[in-house]
Structure 1
Amino acid sequence: MTDAKPLPALTPIGDNPTLIWGMTNAERLRRLARAEGLPDTPGASGARLYVNLAYVFDPVWLRHVVALPGTVVMDGDALVMAHLVGGMTPDDIAANRSTLSIIDYQGNPQIYNRQLRKLDCPFIQPLTRETRRAIERKSYFGAYKGVTDALTKYLWPELALWLTRGAASIGMTPNMVTAIGAALCIYATWLFAQGQYWEGMLAGFIFMVLDTVDGKLARCTITSSKWGNVADHGVDLIHPPFWWYFWGVGLGAWGLALPDQTFLLVMIAVVAGYVLQRVIEGLFIKDFGMDIHVWRRFDSQFRLITARRNPNFAILFFATLAGRPDIGLIAVAWWTVISLVVHAVQLVQAYAERRAGRPIVSWMEEA
Structure 2
Amino acid sequence: MSSAERIRRIAAARAPQADQSGVIVADTRFAFDPQWFGWIAERPGTALTLGGRPVLANVPPDRAEAVRDAIEAGSNAWAEGLAVTAYEDGITIYNATLRKRERPFLIELIPANVRAIERASYFGAYKGVTDILTKYLWPEWALVLTRIAARIGMTPNMVTTIGAALCVWATILFWDGHYWTGMAAGLVFMVLDTVDGKLARCTITSSWWGNVFDHGLDLVHPPFWWYAWGVGLAAHGLALDPPVFWMVMGVMVGGYVLQRLIEGWFIHVAGMHIHVWQKVDTDFRLITARRNPNMVILFVSMLFSRPDLGLLGVTAWTVLSLVFHFVRLLQAIVARRRGALASWLSDGSAA
Same fold (TM over 0.5): yes
Structure 1 unmatched runs, 5+? 1-22
1:130 correspondence with 2:112: yes
Counterpart secondary structure, 1:119: strand
Listed as ranges, the matches of 1:203-218 within 5 Å are 203-218=185-200
Give me the whole-angstrom Cα distance separating, in 1, the residues matched to 2:39 and 2:278. Answer: 24
What are the superposed Cα offsets for residues 262-292 of structure 1, whole Å, 9 maximum, x if unpaired? 1112111110000000011111222322111
Structure 2 letter corresponding to 1:56: A
1:15 is matched with none
1:189 and 2:164 equivalent?
no
How many residue pairs are counted as aligned between the two chains?
338
* 1:169-188 aligned within 5 A: 169-188=151-170
Following the alignment from structure 1 to structure 2, what is the Cα–Cα distance between the partners of residues 273 and 72?
50
Could you tell me which amino acid in structure 2 is paired with residue 24 of structure 1?
Answer: S
Equivalent position of 1:364 in the other structure: 345
* Correspondence for 1:36 among 14, 20, 42: 14
Structure 2 residue aligned with 1:3:
none
Give the letter aligned to residue 344 of structure 2: W
Deviation for aligned residue 1:212: 0.4
- The Cα offsets for residues 84-112 of structure 1, whole Å up to 9 and x where unpaired, read as 22634535553435xx2x32111211110
Q: Which amino acid aligns with 2:342?
A: V
CA distance in 2, matches of 1:51, 1:340: 48
Aligned to 1:149: 131
Deviation at residue 38 of structure 1 after TM alignment: 6.2
Q: 2:105, 2:140 → 1: CA distance?
A: 19
Distance of 2:326 and 2:85 partners within structure 1: 41
Describe the SS at the equivalent of 1:56.
strand
- What does 1:286-297 align with in structure 2 at a 5 Å threshold? 286-297=268-279
Partner of 1:11: none
Please tell me whether residue 103 in structure 1 is matched to residue 85 in structure 2: yes
Kindly provide the amino acid, as one letter, of the partner of residue 150 in structure 2: A
- Which residue does the alignment assign to 1:277? 259
Render the CA deviation track for 1:93-142: whole Å, top value 9, x for unaligned. 53435xx2x32111211110000000011110011111111100110000
Number of the residue aligned with 1:25: 3
| C-alpha distance in structure 1 between counterparts of 2:166 and 2:329, whole Å | 35
% of aligned pairs identical? 56
- State whether residues 270 and 340 of structure 2, in contact with CA within 8 Å, keep that contact through their aligned partners in structure 1: no
Any unmatched runs of 5+ in structure 2?
A: 71-76
Q: How far apart, in 1, do the equivalents of 2:186 and 2:204 lie?
A: 27
Partner of 1:355: 337
Q: Which residue of 2 aligns with 1:70?
A: 45
Aligned residues of 2:269 and 2:336 also touching (Cα < 8 A):
no
Q: Letter of the aligned partner of 1:66 in structure 2?
A: A
Q: Deviation digits for residues 295-344 of structure 1, max 9, x if unmatched?
A: 11111111000000000011100111111110000010010011011111
Corresponding residue SS for 1:261: helix
Write the letter of the residue equivalent to 1:283: W
| TM-score normalised over the length of structure 2 | 0.93
Are the equivalent residues in 1 in contact too, given 2:17–2:41 (CA < 8 A)?
Answer: no
Distance 1:346 1:71 in 2: 41
CA distance in 2, matches of 1:219, 1:86: 29
Q: Is structure 2 residue 18 aligned with structure 1 residue 61?
A: no
In structure 1, what residue type is equivalent to 2:138?
A: W
Q: Structure 2: how far apart are the matches of 1:208 and 1:336?
A: 20
Q: Deviations over 1:54-73 (max 9, x none)?
A: 11011111112112222221
Tell me if 1:267 matches 2:267: no
Q: Which has the higher helix share?
A: 2
Which residue type is aligned with residue 278 of structure 1? R
Letter in 1 for 2:340: P
